[in-house]
Amino acid sequence: MKLVKDRGIVLKTEKSGETSLKVRLFAKDSGRMICIAKGARKPGSAFFGLLTPFSVVDFETATSRYLPFFRSVSRIEYFQDLTMDPEKIVYASMILEIVDKTAEPHEDIETLRLLYISLRAMNHAEFSGEKIHWWFIVHFLKIHGVWPDPETCAGCQGKLAHAVLIPDSGGLFCETCAGHTGTQGLSLDTKLREVLVFLTANPPEKSNAIRINRHGAVTLTRWLWKLLELHYDKTEYLNTKKAVERLL
């Protein structure tokens, strides 16, 4: 029986059997993983109440024929203030689901750090869940090498004003170069493109400085979702999208 010690963030839990939980985590050494917490739904269990989404936990697992199971769990941080705000729960849940749908079962320290920083920022009452979720998507794509340069046209290399995302390339083009591609793109006006530049260059705590109207916020959200979907097919069908749509 192989024992593994690791630290991670709980992404999702599901009932398993009469009293157990199937827990999805993103861990420091193991990446995305699924473990069984035997008897975790019993009030007297050592795991009871510890393995909830938005929890940072140290744990030890043991291998089995089915899935690894927890031998011990210690919760070292819980973003409780976040869970008191229904809107932030929705945006934070989307961030967890993006990681769950895209991560692989191997070490990915940068993504884990990004997830932690984003949840920690959302845990502060003064920060917007919507804007932090923008920041997360921008930097998620950036650390995975698929974030387009929001200041330079991918065609002529000139400075961008308006920007057009061409799905086939995943790049941002000026209106002239976009017209030459013969492909229908997704446009961002100068103001929203500048928001992307700001998000790229600043930490999440600065995102509250962004000032755009409701129409612009909705446009930016849908644009970022589309860019994410171009590179990660599974994010097209996020369960949390329906909940976020009701907030837009």
Domain coverage including residue 223:
82-245
In this structure, are 177 and 60 located in the same domain? no
In this structure, are 73 and 92 located in the same domain? no
Q: Which of 174, 224, 222 is nearest to 199 (CA)?
A: 224
Residue-wise pLDDT for 88-113, tens only, equals 999 999 999 999 999 999 999 999 99
Q: Which of 170, 113, 181 is nearest to 147 (CA)?
A: 170
Residue with tokens 């590179």: 231
- 6 pLDDT exceeds 90? yes
pLDDT given at position 2: 86
- Count: domains in the chain: 2
Query: What CATH number does the domain containing 30 carry?
Result: 2.40.50.140
In this structure, are 152 and 229 located in the same domain? yes
Q: Which residues of 27-46 are buried (b: 16+ CB within 10 A; e: fewer)?
A: bbebbbbebbbbbbbeeebe
In this structure, are 73 and 86 located in the same domain? no
In this structure, are 59 and 110 located in the same domain? no
- 1 pLDDT exceeds 80? no
Domain boundary among 24, 45, 78: 78
Q: Rounded CA gap, 95 and 116, in Å?
A: 10
Decide: helix, strand or coil at residue 174.
Answer: coil
Residue-wise pLDDT for 138-170, tens only, equals 999 999 999 999 999 999 999 999 999 998 888
Residue-wise pLDDT for 161-220, tens only, equals 999 999 888 899 999 999 888 788 899 999 999 999 999 999 999 999 999 999 999 999
Token duo for residue 17: 């059997």
pLDDT given at position 34: 96
Decide: helix, strand or coil at residue 10.
Answer: strand
In this structure, are 12 and 98 located in the same domain? no
Domain boundary among 16, 51, 78: 78
pLDDT grade, residue 123 (50/70/90)? very high
Token duo for residue 27: 């861990």
Q: Rounded CA gap, 58 and 78, in Å?
A: 12
Query: What CATH number does the domain containing 121 carry?
Result: 1.20.1440.120
Domain boundary among 78, 108, 129: 78
Token duo for residue 8: 């991670």
- 38 pLDDT exceeds 90? yes
In this structure, are 59 and 107 located in the same domain? no
